[in-house]
């Protein structure tokens, strides 16, 4: 029998390494599910059943000594590992564990001559442990699948030839080759014209994605179409897949309050029930006229068996782990089980606009220049904007590439850019930037609905460019599904023009919307909403400027596909698909996980309390106690893994 998953001293689940994962997963997983693991329990079961049959038919050769030896042979395969665990935990100073309870209860049964019951207690405890291991393996299946996605080799062009190396040995800027059926080993920019890739490992979406020349390939994608070449943009440790694995890895360390409470409770609860069992055995001597030590000792053994906290200690973290697994299968990464609880409590969802509810893919609609030739105007504007990573800046540089070079570049957060080109001071940004530097511009421009980039040259207004952005296909349905999931209020915060923000909010059915906000203004708005302490707030964003508000909200959600690294690292939940419709899915998973955890707590306490009372009153035997204990554990674990089969 392998080490128990449900030990009260364990702080992590599953019990492999402190990081929550079995790093030699392929080998160990095979062991835990192999037939050899079940041999001790099978031997014990065969000997137990045959011994009970010999007892029932009064076999003449089944003398008291042979009978004792027979049941000891049945007892040994399943009890020795438990005795070893009890010994090890006692050496660490942890006396009151389920191993100690099981050891005392079964030895007590043997002392009373209840051999079959003593074997049954330990056998079913072992079967429960095996079942728990299988449940943990199932719960961690999604994460094991992620670990299996790590490419072992990369085909790199070095010294005039293609060589096979470990991805960690490949440097930024080197050229790699990805054959059909191979995984992309590192984040890289596509050199070849086009190919189709399966992105399910990163996004949870099975639909193939077409990647063209110049676009980004992410580690873990599967090449479906033809041999392609790409230029490495990030080292292995900084790749998207490595970050995902790190996030999921760290998730096992962050425990929900309920999980932490149950673990602390088990450490207090176990010694209490032990002393209650001792009291149940000894105190009746002073109050019961026909006191028989044997009877009350037997009742105390029943009390110990049924009081074992295994069902609680394993099923609750298993429920949370199942929730994290179900979310990752849907392209949603929770960075800890505590965030599942927070997501379940969300009442207000606050969202950024660009890149979150809209595609963040901008196009230039209209160009208007004043006092300068249109071509020169675009040359100057594009030369400034190519120094920014903002989607609007990319749209302008794509519309009109410039050969000019800007110097003394200064990015003014929430306003725009300031630069010098050929001795001229260029300002490019919104109306707030113009006002900040005292630039007069036509009043009618501010009334335009579209996103506008205004330009000033040497202190004089020189024209503007209008930019449009498209709403994501699932944004509207996402808002309605949030409300159906119990979200009381939806809010949109954006640095974009208020007219655009209000128009988008009306189109999507968002309750409140605020535009023209700087990053600090967004933080202020969240702080206002948080004044109501009962109002749990989730903020959804994707940009660098969203990082402060992601950090200050109760739960921060980042769009992980197109989002900035800073936003992803600051957030508590990452949506890999960039789909707003995953927000209500995350809420549903959080609430369903919480519901299952509460059900397990109620089930475990309810059944245990009933059988404890029956056992103390002499109305239940060790058989009822062991079946009730193992039965509760089975039901709780089945309930916990149920979330993995649900469709959201």
pLDDT in tens, 86-108: 899 899 888 878 788 788 888 88
CA 455 remoteness from chain centre: 45
d(CA 161, CA 107): 70
Q: Do residue 414 and residue 448 come from a single domain?
A: yes
pLDDT band at 5, cuts 50/70/90? very low
Position 88 scores a pLDDT of: 92
Q: Do residue 115 and residue 193 come from a single domain?
A: no
Q: Do residue 506 and residue 622 come from a single domain?
A: no
pLDDT tens-place string over residues 545-566: 677 788 888 998 988 765 556 6
Mean pLDDT of 274-285: 91
Q: Specify the higher pLDDT residue, 269 or 478.
A: 478
Q: Do residue 45 and residue 136 come from a single domain?
A: yes
* Bridging pattern class, strands 555-559 and 536-541: parallel
Position 19 scores a pLDDT of: 34
Which residues does 81 contact at the CB level (< 8 Å), separation at least 6? 1, 2, 3, 40, 126
- Judged against a pLDDT cut of 70, whether residue 13 lies above it is answered with no
401: in domain: yes
- Judged against a pLDDT cut of 80, whether residue 162 lies above it is answered with yes
Position 201 scores a pLDDT of: 58
Q: Which of 321, 309, 271, 289 is nearest to 143 (CA)?
A: 321
CA dist 136 → 9, 105, 271, 320, 637 (Å): 17, 27, 27, 11, 9
1: in domain: no
Last residue within a domain, chosen from 571, 603, 635: 571
What CATH number did the domain enclosing 374 receive? 3.40.1110.10
Q: Which of 3-7, 553-557, 576-580 has the lowest mean pLDDT?
A: 3-7
d(CA 306, CA 299): 11
d(CA 188, CA 154): 12
Position 424 scores a pLDDT of: 94
| Share of residues in the chain with pLDDT > 70 (%) | 85
Q: Do residue 140 and residue 261 come from a single domain?
A: yes
Q: Specify the higher pLDDT residue, 545 or 627.
A: 627
- Is 352 catalytic? The answer is yes
Last residue within a domain, chosen from 412, 446, 468: 468
Question: What integer best gives the mean pLDDT of the chain?
Answer: 82
Q: Do residue 460 and residue 532 come from a single domain?
A: no
Q: Which of 50-59, 244-253, 630-639 has the lowest mean pLDDT?
A: 244-253
Q: Do residue 480 and residue 558 come from a single domain?
A: yes
Which residues does 238 contact at the CB level (< 8 Å), separation at least 6? 187
- Judged against a pLDDT cut of 50, whether residue 299 lies above it is answered with yes
Q: Do residue 453 and residue 433 come from a single domain?
A: yes
Q: Do residue 134 and residue 277 come from a single domain?
A: yes
Most confident of 298-312, 330-344, 474-488: 474-488
149: in domain: no
- Judged against a pLDDT cut of 70, whether residue 200 lies above it is answered with no
Given the residues 187, 249, 341, 352, the one annotated as active site: 352
Position 544 scores a pLDDT of: 58
Q: Which of 122-136, 490-504, 594-608 has the lowest mean pLDDT?
A: 122-136
**Number of Cα atoms under 13 Å in the Cβ half of residue 314:** 34
pLDDT band at 248, cuts 50/70/90? low
Helices (H), 224-292: 240-251, 257-282, 284-287
Residue 142 phi/psi, 5-degree rounding, is: -65, -40
Q: Do residue 381 and residue 439 come from a single domain?
A: yes
Do 359 and 471 form a contact (C-beta atoms < 8 A)?
A: yes
Q: Which of 366-380, 384-398, 578-592 has the lowest mean pLDDT?
A: 384-398
163: in domain: no
Q: Whole domain around residue 264: which residue ranges? A: 25-144+249-325+590-645
Position 135 scores a pLDDT of: 65
Edge to edge, the sheet with strand 346-352 lists 332-334, 573-575, 555-559, 536-541, 346-352, 489-493, 512-514
Mean pLDDT of 223-237: 90
What CATH number did the domain enclosing 555 receive? 3.40.50.1000
514: in domain: yes
Q: Do residue 76 and residue 140 come from a single domain?
A: yes
Mean pLDDT of 132-143: 61
**Tokens 């079959």 correspond to what residue?**
116
Q: Which of 348, 338, 328 is nearest to 577 (CA)?
A: 328
Token pair in block for residue 379: 């040359």
This prediction has a pTM of: 0.65
Position 33 scores a pLDDT of: 46
Token pair in block for residue 64: 């008291």
Q: Do residue 404 and residue 524 come from a single domain?
A: no
Last residue within a domain, chosen from 468, 489, 513: 468
Number of domains in the chain: 4
Which residues does 614 contact at the CB level (< 8 Å), separation at least 6? 620, 624
Mean pLDDT of 602-625: 84
Burial code (b: 16+ CB inside 10 Å, e: under 16) for 128-154 equals bbbbbbebbbbbbebbbebbebbbeeb
Position 565 scores a pLDDT of: 62
17: in domain: no
d(CA 599, CA 594): 9
| Share of residues in the chain with pLDDT > 90 (%) | 35
What CATH number did the domain enclosing 201 receive? 2.70.150.10
Token pair in block for residue 391: 């989607």
Burial zone of 403 (CB within 10 Å; 0-12 exposed, 13-18 middle, 19+ buried): exposed
Edge to edge, the sheet with strand 194-198 lists 209-212, 194-198, 222-223
Residue 263 phi/psi, 5-degree rounding, is: -65, -45
Position 545 scores a pLDDT of: 65
Q: Specify the higher pLDDT residue, 151 or 319.
A: 319
Do 421 and 406 form a contact (C-beta atoms < 8 A)?
A: yes
579: in domain: no
pLDDT tens-place string over residues 402-415: 999 999 999 887 78
């Amino acid at each position: 029998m392998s080490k128990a998953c449900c030990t009260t001293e364990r702080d992590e689940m599953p019990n492999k390494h402190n990081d929550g994962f079995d790093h030699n997963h392929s080998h160990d997983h095979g062991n835990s599910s192999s037939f050899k693991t079940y041999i001790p329990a099978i031997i014990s079961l065969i000997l137990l059943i045959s011994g009970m049959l010999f007892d029932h038919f009064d076999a003449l050769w089944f003398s008291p000594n042979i009978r004792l030896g027979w049941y000891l042979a049945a007892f040994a395969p399943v009890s020795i590992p438990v005795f070893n665990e009890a010994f090890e935990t006692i050496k660490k100073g942890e006396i009151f564990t389920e191993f100690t309870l099981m050891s005392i209860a079964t030895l007590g049964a043997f002392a009373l001559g209840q051999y079959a019951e003593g074997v049954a207690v330990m056998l079913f405890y072992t079967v429960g442990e095996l079942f728990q291991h299988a449940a943990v393996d199932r719960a961690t299946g999604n994460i094991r699948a992620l670990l299996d996605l790590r490419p072992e080799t990369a085909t790199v062009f070095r010294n005039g030839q293609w060589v096979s190396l470990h991805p960690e040995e490949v440097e930024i800027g080197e050229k790699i080759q990805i054959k059909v059926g191979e995984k992309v080993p590192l984040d890289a920019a596509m050199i070849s014209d086009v190919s189709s890739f399966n992105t399910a490992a990163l996004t949870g979406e099975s639909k193939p994605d077409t990647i063209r020349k110049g676009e980004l390939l992410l580690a873990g994608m599967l090449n479906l179409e033809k041999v392609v070449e790409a230029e490495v943009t990030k080292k292995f440790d900084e790749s998207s897949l490595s970050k995902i694995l790190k996030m999921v890895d760290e998730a096992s360390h962050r425990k929900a309050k309920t999980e932490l409470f149950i673990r602390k409770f088990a450490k207090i609860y176990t010694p209490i029930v032990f002393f209650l069992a001792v009291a149940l055995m000894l105190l009746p001597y002073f109050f019961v006229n026909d006191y028989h030590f044997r009877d009350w000792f037997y009742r105390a053994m029943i009390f110990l068996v049924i009081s074992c906290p295994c069902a609680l200690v394993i099923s609750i973290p298993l429920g949370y782990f199942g929730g994290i697994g179900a979310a990752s299968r849907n392209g949603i990464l929770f960075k800890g089980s505590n965030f599942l609880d927070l997501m379940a409590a969300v009442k207000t969802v606050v969202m950024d606009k660009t890149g979150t509810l809209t595609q963040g893919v901008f196009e230039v609609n209209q160009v208007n220049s004043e006092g300068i030739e249109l071509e020169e105007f675009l040359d100057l504007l594009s030369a400034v904007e190519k120094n920014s990573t903002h989607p609007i800046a990319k749209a302008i540089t794509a519309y009109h590439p410039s050969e000019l070079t800007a110097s003394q570049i200064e990015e003014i957060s929430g306003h725009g850019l300031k630069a010098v080109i050929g001795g001229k001071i260029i300002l490019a940004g919104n109306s707030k930037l113009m006002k900040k530097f005292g630039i007069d511009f036509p009043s009618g421009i501010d009334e335009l609905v579209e996103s506008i980039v205004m330009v000033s040259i040497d202190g004089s207004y020189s024209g503007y460019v209008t930019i449009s952005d498209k709403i994501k296909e699932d944004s509207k349905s996402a808002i309605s599904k949030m409300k159906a999931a119990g979200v009381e209020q939806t809010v949109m915060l954006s640095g974009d023009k208020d007219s655009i923000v209000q128009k988008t909010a009306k189109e999507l059915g968002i309750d409140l919307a605020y535009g023209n906000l700087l990053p600090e203004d967004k933080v202020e708005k969240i702080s206002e909403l948080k004044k109501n302490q009962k109002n749990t707030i989730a903020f959804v964003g994707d940009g660098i400027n969203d990082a402060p508000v992601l950090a200050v909200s109760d739960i921060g959600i980042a769009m992980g596909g197109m989002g900035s690294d800073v936003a992803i690292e600051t957030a508590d939940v990452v949506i890999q698909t960039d789909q707003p419709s995953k927000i209500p899915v995350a809420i549903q998973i959080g609430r369903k996980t919480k519901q299952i955890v509460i059900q397990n707590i109620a089930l475990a306490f309810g059944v245990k309390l009933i059988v404890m009372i029956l056992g103390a009153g002499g109305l239940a035997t060790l058989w009822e106690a062991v079946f009730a204990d193992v039965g509760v554990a089975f039901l709780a674990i089945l309930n916990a893994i149920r979330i993995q089969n649900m469709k959201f």
